[in-house]
Copies of this chain bind each other. A is one copy, B any other.
Amino acid sequence: MFDYPKFVEFREEGPREGFQIEKTLHPIEDRVALIDLLSETGLKRIQVGSFVSPRHVPQMADTGTLFERIRRKPGVKYTALWLNEKGFRKAQTAHRVDMDPKLLFYASNTFSLKNNNCTADAMRERQRDWVRLYKAEGLVPDTAYVMAAFGCNYEGEIAQEKVLDDIRFIQRLCAEEEVPLPNLALADTMGWANPESVKRMIGALRDLAPGVRLCLHIHDTRGLGIANLHAALSMGVDLFESSVAGLGGCPFAAHGDARAAGNVCTEDAVFLCHELGIETGIDLDTMIAAARKAEAILGVPLMGRVMHSGGLSRYRAPRG
């Protein structure tokens, strides 16, 4: 039952997740300043932006320029998202992108159709092409995602077996292509997970793929983000994707309200870990400063909690 990891890694997605859904383009200097501040927090991986169609996502059109202007901190990886080969090539030729090869699987066929204009089965086969392309470029997949792993606004409940079937496919694919098994990430982009479904799914994955590092990509759509993250911590999961100030959301996920909460909030999750005695390598106060900068840039109240209340260290007596 009590099986917390000693150290948890957070991969920061705020600069992409947060700004890709904005209606207005925010000045590039502001976004550079936010990333530079995030570099000072102790985070080891920051997703700067995405190389996607500027026609579909004009907010990400200047990702290449962002990479030119940010101040790099040694030991921090600055990554980007791409969704097709054109984007991948852009990332390769952009200024010093830390290549972060992902594989994307869909537990929901409809969500795959909406996001990728192809079935979940076709998407699987495309991942084989990605593995081969990555190999040809001297890369190996870092993380394989199962999207809509807990439920889908289009298909409803997702049977656990669908997720496990994706995992089995990933295992076969990696064996056939002779690449090491990547981290396995469960994505709850549409906010269907609850602490029990998280524990059940992680238990099933541990049985199926023992020893593989698991990752959770959690959204706080329905307020269970931190509780779900805590459930995963209690199962020993030590890798999470999160967003400063809880930035983000999924513009294609058919929510009724544009203000639906985004990713689980990095600094709130870091606060939880520290309170539980789990190390993160992250300085909470600097993380809070980054969250407040994000709020200042966006000009609207953001949904993080600790960014508004502060942590607890200032109230505690110094430990001798």
Contacts and interface: CB of A to CB of B under 8 A. Distances in A.
A1 interface: yes
Interface in A200-229: 220-224, 226-227, 229
A151 B316 CA distance: 10
A2 to B, nearest CB: 8
Contacts of A311: 222
A146 to B, nearest CB: 19
Contact of A223 (B197, B222, B271): B271
Q: Sort chain A's interface into a size bin.
A: 35 or more
Contact of A261 (B1, B255, B261, B308): B308
Residue among A223, A226, A272, A276 having the largest count of chain B Cβ atoms under 10 Å: A223
Interface of A: 1, 151-154, 156-157, 191-192, 194-197, 220-224, 226-227, 229-231, 255-257, 259-261, 265, 268, 271-272, 275-276, 300-301, 303-306, 308-312, 315-317
Given A257-B308, A257-B310, A305-B222, A194 B276 contact: yes
Given A227-B226, A230-B195, A301-B301, A153 B256 contact: no
A259 B222 contact: no
Nearest to A273: B194
Residue among A220, A221, A309 having the largest count of chain B Cβ atoms under 10 Å: A309
Contacts of A197: 275
Given A259-B308, A305-B261, A223 B223 contact: no
Given A255-B309, A309-B257, A223 B304 contact: yes
B222 A271 contact: yes
12 contacts: A151-B312, A151-B315, A154-B315, A156-B315, A156-B317, A194-B272, A195-B230, A221-B305, A222-B309, A223-B306, A227-B229, A261-B309
Nearest to A268: B223
Those 4 A-B pairs whose CB atoms lie nearest each other, nearest first: A223-B305, A223-B268, A260-B309, A194-B275
Nearest to A260: B309
A293 to B, nearest CB: 15
Contacts of A268: 222-224
Nearest to A303: B303
Contacts of A157: 316
Contacts of A226: 223-224, 226-227
Contact of A221 (B1, B152, B257, B309): B309
Contacts of A154: 315
A299 B206 CA distance: 47
A272 B303 contact: no
A192 B257 CA distance: 31
A292 to B, nearest CB: 10
Nearest to A152: B315
A316 B157 CA distance: 7
A259 B295 CA distance: 13
